[in-house]
Amino acid sequence: MLYLLALLLHRLPLAVGQYDICKSWVTTDDGPSWEFYACQPKAMRMKDYVTVRVDPVGITCGDPPERFCTHENPYLCSDECDASNPDLAHPPKLMFDSEDEGLATYWQSVTWRRYPEPLLANITLSWNKSIELTDDIVITFEYGRPTIMMLEKSLDNGRTWHPYQYYADDCMEAFSMPARRVRDLSTTSANRVLCTEEYSRWAGSKKEKTVRFEVRDRFAIFAGPDLKNMDNLYTRLESAKGLKDFFTVTDLRMRLLRPALGGTYVQRENLYKYFYAVSNIEVTGRCKCNLHANLCTFKEGSLQCECEHNTTGQDCGKCKKNFRSRSWRAGSYLPLPNGSPNACK
């Protein structure tokens, strides 16, 4: 009976999903003991744990109050942004709130009243924790998507930044790069930083609202269009240099460089219709625990891995005291299907 229970526990990782449990109690010729497996937390909505910062100072509309209008009604500028009035304010927290009854709430920038000086805004998302992206980053804009923007990432809590993807209505003009699509990348270029024109051309503010960083399309290069061959993806994440780190971030930064124009040029006689408005940012991922934990909890203002395998630290990045007979190593997805825990001894 004990043997059957041990066998069932051993098969649990396959029954409930890959890398869901870290260990099971098994019986061997030397007696019962723990058998360890590589493990990782489940994916979750990372916007629930994020800290947001918008800069430069004064880029959020409403102080002082100002009028604005939309591209649909460019000369009916009766809308107002007023930071002192909760019904008319558009603070950064509205990018992450729940929107009741389909009514969009959004952060909004000042208008482009200082044209031709560029209208620049940075939106920085910080987790104070390494996370691994598991799905597309989706940014929803109201009143038109930017014609030029950049997505950047940090791996060291914002000390250094690296380009993640460029967006423009004309990539060559904006960034001196040819336009490319993620679905045209190959297995050797899956982590290439590219410029896309797919999300920047004017399509009407009420039609196309989202800008994506296509994580799933990059995964599909290895796992197939339906992401059914996950074993191949896990193998490549383990073996391809830099691929795992490509999907790992501690911070994300959106650099908004030019707003929606509603056409081909800026109408200087009506600058109140040019601004940025973001209603939602979706980031789906899991805590990076180096395959040493299957739980991650929010403690003392930040996410923490619940470390197994005799490891410790925010990312399970070192061995516990008295378990250092060999150097710490991250767990491995290989060999499939349970991986190698590389537990501290």
Together in a domain, 190 and 298: no
Together in a domain, 159 and 280: yes
Confidence band, pLDDT 50/70/90 cuts, at residue 100:
low
Last residue of a domain, one of 287, 315, 331: 287
Main-chain dihedrals φ then ψ at residue 256, nearest 5 degrees:
-90, 120
Query: What's the average model confidence in pLDDT over 257-272?
Result: 90
Lowest mean pLDDT among 3-17, 109-123, 190-204, 312-326: 3-17
Is the model's pLDDT at 288 over the cut of 50?
Answer: yes
C-alpha span between 36 and 268 (Å, rounded): 66
CATH code for position 262: 2.60.120.260
What is the reported pLDDT for 337? 86
Whether 142 is covered by a domain: the verdict is: yes
Q: Who wins on pLDDT, 3 or 345?
A: 345
What is the reported pLDDT for 326? 83
Together in a domain, 197 and 240: yes
Percent of the chain's residues with pLDDT above 90: 77
- Coil, helix or strand for 237? helix
Q: Who wins on pLDDT, 46 or 301?
A: 46
Confidence band, pLDDT 50/70/90 cuts, at residue 204:
low
C-alpha span between 28 and 282 (Å, rounded): 46
Together in a domain, 144 and 253: yes
C-alpha span between 193 and 165 (Å, rounded): 6
List the end-to-end C-alpha distance of the chain, in Å, as a whole number.
30
Whether 64 is covered by a domain: the verdict is: yes
Confidence band, pLDDT 50/70/90 cuts, at residue 7:
very low
Whether 154 is covered by a domain: the verdict is: yes
Together in a domain, 22 and 57: no
Is the model's pLDDT at 14 over the cut of 80?
Answer: no
Together in a domain, 198 and 263: yes
Whether 12 is covered by a domain: the verdict is: no
Is the model's pLDDT at 190 over the cut of 70?
Answer: yes
Together in a domain, 60 and 165: yes
Q: Which residues contact 290 (CB under 8 A, 6 or more apart)?
A: 311, 315, 316, 317, 330, 331
Together in a domain, 263 and 330: no
Whether 13 is covered by a domain: the verdict is: no
Q: Choose among 155, 147, 95: nearest CA to 283.
A: 95
Confidence band, pLDDT 50/70/90 cuts, at residue 67:
very high
Together in a domain, 28 and 54: no
Query: What's the average model confidence in pLDDT over 130-154?
Result: 96
Confidence band, pLDDT 50/70/90 cuts, at residue 101:
low
Exposed / middle / buried, residue 27 (Cβ in 10 Å: 0-12, 13-18, 19+): middle
Last residue of a domain, one of 271, 287, 303: 287
Whether 175 is covered by a domain: the verdict is: yes
* pLDDT, the chain, mean: 90
Together in a domain, 222 and 78: yes
Last residue of a domain, one of 270, 287, 304: 287
Is the model's pLDDT at 199 over the cut of 70?
Answer: yes
Determine the structural domain holding residue 331 and report its residue range: 18-41+289-344
Q: How does pLDDT run across 295-336, given as a tens digit for each residue?
A: 999 988 899 999 999 999 999 999 999 998 789 999 999 998
Query: Whole-prediction pTM value?
Result: 0.90
C-alpha span between 17 and 22 (Å, rounded): 12
What is the reported pLDDT for 206? 58
What is the reported pLDDT for 1? 43
Together in a domain, 166 and 297: no
Whether 210 is covered by a domain: the verdict is: yes
Query: What's the average model confidence in pLDDT over 179-190?
Result: 94
Together in a domain, 35 and 101: no
CATH code for position 316: 2.10.25.10
Q: How does pLDDT run across 209-256, given as a tens digit for each residue?
A: 999 999 999 999 999 999 999 999 999 999 998 999 999 999 999 999
Is the model's pLDDT at 260 over the cut of 90?
Answer: yes
Whether 5 is covered by a domain: the verdict is: no
Number of domains forming the structure of the chain: 2
Query: What's the average model confidence in pLDDT over 56-67?
Result: 96
Is the model's pLDDT at 6 over the cut of 50?
Answer: no
